[in-house]
Amino acid sequence: MNTLIALKDLENDLETPEVHYYSVIIEGESNSEFEKFLQSHNANQEIKEEYNDLLAWIRDKLGTRGAKKRYFRHEMKAEALPPGSKYLEIEYDKQLRLYVIRISDHVVILLNGGIKTTKVAQKCPNVSRHFRLANQIAEKIDQAFKNKEIELGEDLKNLMFDKNFRLRL
């Protein structure tokens, strides 16, 4: 059975000068993937510093400088706009990972993540499912761009899509 996923605009909750943030909601769930990430990690004292630095990085650094490729864990090959969306990781030394999809310098989709305990994300019990989901969503978003179901706004600073649009995994 297909899983339906809706894009959620986070502008009302997380407005920044340079980056328009989005997340996704899996059909039947009430919280977005990014909200689930926050709920899972906000009370974990072991990663308190990493968690708070990560939030400050998202809002203050990326939000002010723009979501430049170099600020993410994986450098991807150059792409034309609209870009091929790729999953990326924002990392911190103590293995806290947040998976995101960077559409451009101004559009980022924040997903879920966790504390990575193995060298390879695919083998980690904490992050493998988030890693897989991020990859699947990135692929579907690419297709949606090609089908013109999602488009970048004129100023390339937001996504345009029908309110009933769903990604089908």
Chain positions contacting another protein, by CB under 8 A = 10, 12-14, 31, 34-35, 38-39, 42, 49, 52-57, 59-61, 64-65, 70-71, 73, 91-93
Q: For the beta carbon of residue 101, count every other beta carbon within 10 angstroms.
A: 23
Nearest distance from C-beta of residue 125 to another protein, angstroms: 24
Q: 59-83: buried (b, 16+ CB within 10 Å) or exposed (e) per residue?
A: eebbbeebbebebbeeeeeeeeebb
Nearest distance from C-beta of residue 2 to another protein, angstroms: 27
Nearer to another protein, 83 or 89 (CB): 89
Q: For the beta carbon of residue 1, count every other beta carbon within 10 angstroms.
A: 3
DSSP 8-state code for residue 46 = G
Nearer to another protein, 93 or 162 (CB): 93
| Strand bridging mode 107-115 / 20-26 | parallel
Nearer to another protein, 31 or 136 (CB): 31
Nearer to another protein, 127 or 144 (CB): 127
Question: Tokens 């899983």 correspond to what residue?
Answer: 3
Nearest distance from C-beta of residue 56 to another protein, angstroms: 4
